[in-house]
Structure 1
């Protein structure tokens, strides 16, 4: 396959910037806050006493931040495509 054709199919992705980091942090914090109240069965794994969230352990933190990264990546790509962030 021709390299130029392949490169024209692939969309441009922006490099890292402080605005994309802020969007990712906001998405992760929103998902942690949502997961704090939405997860019904909590506290099955090791807890994280440093956060001060009783019953919100490592499995819940990993699950909510994973969802936050998925939503954050979509938000960054979407905001970049409509030229709100660079």
Structure 2
């Protein structure tokens, strides 16, 4: 590879912010948003294994698959928000 190609590749790597309270707040907000979307968006709840512990009423009717799906969606959404805001210089 030439030096020009290496410079172009280095410019394509997004800036990754270090952990801070703002980063944590964005991830928590994204997961809460995903929880609200899942609470009202999942039509058939409770299919599959149930959660091993009793949780508050917000999680009523959720099984393990719903909880894992919702938190996975929340983390994907949060990671996208964090990387996007860091690349825009807002974080």
Q: How many residue pairs get matched?
A: 85
Over alpha carbons, which structure has the higher Rg?
2
Q: What is the TM-score normalised by the length of structure 2?
A: 0.78
Residue 17 (structure 2) aligns with: 14
Measure how far apart 1:34 and its partner are: 0.8
Provide the aligned C-alpha RMSD in A.
2.0
- 43-52 or 63-72, which moves further after superposition? 43-52
Q: Distance in 2 between matches of 1:82 and 1:11?
A: 10
Contact 2:17 2:86 in 1 (8 A): yes
Residue 82 (structure 1) aligns with: 88
Mapping 1:1-86, distance limit 5 Å? 1=1, 5=6, 6-48=9-51, 49-52=54-57, 53-85=59-91
Which structure has more RCO (C-alpha within 8 Å, separation ≥ 6)? 2
Q: What is the TM-score normalised by the length of structure 1?
A: 0.82
Gaps of 5+ in 2: none
Measure how far apart 1:8 and its partner are: 4.1
Q: Find the residue that maps to 1:36 and give its secondary structure.
A: helix
Considering fraction of residues, name the structure with more helix. 2
Gaps of 5+ in 1: none
